[in-house]
Chain A
Amino acid sequence: MGGLPLLISRGLPPLEGTLALAASITAAAALILTPSLLPPAIALYGAELVVSVHRGQLAVWIVPLLAAGLVLVYEAAELRHQLPPRTVTETWAVRALTRRIGLTAALGLLGSAAVVAAAGASGRGGPAAAVVGGLAAALAVFLIRVLADTAPVDDEA
């Protein structure tokens, strides 16, 4: 219900508040009803973020952190549907799950930060930032793959 403070403090209808409210309602529906509503909910949260940054209410450097937060929200909400009730989960699987969520958020943070850094470095706005950010992301994937392939699979030892 991230949009509620905005709605309360600023009154209706600022665009960010409306987006946040719509996002929260969609997220709640996604949690209760179907996971197929998750992407629209996250997209609405993202739109709220972009509008806030565009209007100068949020600093650009905070975007990677919030983007990673969105990835975490997506993961957590999806888990709600992935594991049906009365599922017994063993310790190793829980560790794998924690690792998965952590890695997804870390990759999200890395990708987002690379784009923001590229945009800041180029100082030329959107299209250049996208191109530079894409290249940075591809490099990050390459590095992570190399690391993942060389890392030992059995972490029990």
Chain B
Amino acid sequence: MKPEPRVVGFTALAALGLIVGLAASEPAAVAIGAAFLLPLVYGLAAPRPVLPRSKIELSHDRLLEGNAVEVRLELAAEAPLDWLELRLRVPARSHLLEGAERLVLGLRAGEVRTLRYRIECPRWGLYPVGAVQLVGMHRLCMIRSTETRDPTRPLRVYPRRERLRRLLEPLATRLASGSRPAAARGEGIEFADIREFRPGERVRRINWRASARRGQLLVTDRLPERSSEVVLFLDSMTEAASDQDSTLDHAVRAVASLAGEYLRRRDRVGLLNRGGELEWVLPSTGARQHYRIVDAVLSSESARLYRWRDTRLIPPRVLPPQSLIVALTPLLDWRVNRALLNLRGRGFELALIEVDPLPFAEHTRAGYGDQAWRVWLLERELLRNQFLRAGVQVVRWNAGAPLAPVIEELTSKR
């Protein structure tokens, strides 16, 4: 056990006084040593402080970014405590709106104290809200008890969703019903065409009004409503960041928005998260799938460690044939770029939203010089052309702007 610095200081001064006093036969030195010795002995004779029991309750388990959570910390003292230092550990990138981060208080035996805090979480992620450090001391503060209590579950802060009226529609549809008109005609609601009646066709398909006008039997062709499979590809390998936000922050918000909208249209949506590890969520439908996808990206951080996993190792169930892959990437990592080109090479329909890193990297321009900056821009342009040649639509997204115009641009380019 490491001794308290205070105990070390008092002991050193007491010992020094006594030794010098004895050696030099000087009562004054002994007197000074005794002035530190007596409080030391008295302080060390105190029993170890008993820390209070603590219970932490959060007003919400889940939160939307930008909102605040209320934290209720209850302390119940079994023994009296003169000096209790309490430190609430406010998670990184969150702000304490109400309550004292560091508080020193005293508790009577049996006393129950409730402390309230409000913490704002401006960015999506997993926040370990409710971690407290307790330091208890009494008498002359020569002995202390210290304990850190961590929350059992982190607070989940979900990214904001942007409403999107239009979505990039996959070329191929599945047999399962959905809300997207299929390319082939069949039983459905969506009007496709009117044509002549052929023997053997069902009577209910005859368009009586058109038949009466034209004097011959005509039938209405309809398009069946089908669903599609969409895989969202998130590049969390690298990010360009400022103090406030990063390309990854915006990319995750875009993933949440796109997943929500595709799922609302009854498409099957999956996720490929390319960070230090390759993580995925199998394509599925429904509101639960939205939570699965968002939960999977909440812990995304730019990768510090990297393990190579070739895209060929991705199970076929994660990337169903004829699915549309919508990739969100700042195009900063060659490994991700190569993986995307590889996917395109395997015949997947790929749309690429480039989360523009330039606003975040502008301040480095002076450091590297104009020439280096221009070369870098040219390299990026070359990369975009490489994707275009491979048949991939690339759209630049200035991360501060809404996502809807970017989707419109992608749709119009097809």
Give the interface of A toward B (CB within 8 A). 35-36, 38-39, 42-43, 46, 49-50, 53-54, 60, 63-64, 67-68, 70-71, 74, 78, 83-84, 86-90, 92-93, 95-97, 99-100, 103-104, 107-116, 119, 125-127, 129-130, 133-134, 137-138, 140-141, 144-145, 148, 153-154, 156
Tell me whether B6 and A78 are in contact (CB under 8 A).
Answer: yes
A39, B104: Cβ atoms under 8 Å? Answer: no
Question: Are the C-beta atoms of A60 and B27 separated by less than 8 Å?
Answer: yes
Q: Which 8 A-B pairs have the closest CB atoms?
A: A126-B25, A111-B38, A119-B27, A67-B35, A108-B35, A92-B106, A111-B34, A88-B100
B33–chain A nearest beta-carbon distance, Å = 8
Q: Is the CB–CB distance between B106 and A90 below 8 Å? A: yes
Quick one: closest A residue to B106, CB to CB?
Answer: A92
How long is the Cα–Cα vector from A140 to B42 in the complex, in angstroms? 9
Is the CB–CB distance between A103 and B83 below 8 Å?
no
> Is B41 a contact partner of A126 (Cβ separation < 8 A)?
no
Q: Do B102 and A70 touch across chains, with their CB atoms under 8 A apart? A: no
Contacts of B24 in A (CB 8 A): 50, 126
Q: Does B310 contact A (CB under 8 A)?
A: no
Residues of A within 8 Å of B85, CB to CB, are 87
Contacts A67-B32, A129-B27, A130-B22 known; A86 to B83 CB distance under 8 Å?
Answer: no
A145 in complex: contacting residue of B42, B84, B106, CB < 8 Å? B42
Whether B39 and A107, one on each chain, are in contact in the complex, defined by CB atoms closer than 8 angstroms, is: yes
Q: Which residues of B contact A145 (CB under 8 A)?
A: 42, 45
A70 contact set on B, CB distance < 8 A: 32, 35
Point out which of B5, B85, B104 has the most chain A C-beta atoms below 10 A from its C-beta: B104
Among B10-18, B126-134, B163-171, B193-201, the stretch that binds chain A is: B10-18
Given the known inter-chain contacts A74-B9, A96-B82, A126-B27, please indicate yes or no for A137 contacting B34, CB distance below 8 A: yes
Q: Are B22 and A87 in contact (CB under 8 A)?
A: no
Q: Which residues of A contact B34 (CB under 8 A)?
A: 67, 111-112, 114-115, 133-134, 137
Is B395 an interface residue when CB atoms closer than 8 A count as contact?
no
| B contacts, CB < 8 Å to A | 5-6, 8-10, 12-13, 16-18, 20-22, 24-32, 34-39, 41-42, 45, 80, 82-85, 100-106, 108-109, 138-141
Partner of B42, one of A88, A97, A133, A141: A141
**Residues on the B chain within 8 Å of A141, using CB:** 38, 41-42, 45
A83 to B105, CA, bound (A): 12
Known interface pairs A71-B39, A126-B21, A156-B108; A86-B101 also in contact (CB < 8 Å): yes
In the bound complex, do residue A133 and residue B30 qualify as a contact, i.e. CB atoms below 8 Å apart? Answer: yes
A84 and B102: CB pair below 8 A? yes
On whether the beta carbons of A140 and B38 are closer than 8 Å, the reply is: yes
- The residue that B9 contacts in the complex, of A39, A89, A97, A129, with Cβ under 8 A, is A39
Question: Are A39 and B12 in contact, CB atoms less than 8 angstroms apart?
Answer: yes
Instruction: Among A104, A115, A140, point to the contact of B140 (Cβ < 8 A).
Output: A104
The answer to whether B35 and A126 touch across the interface, beta carbons within 8 angstroms, is no
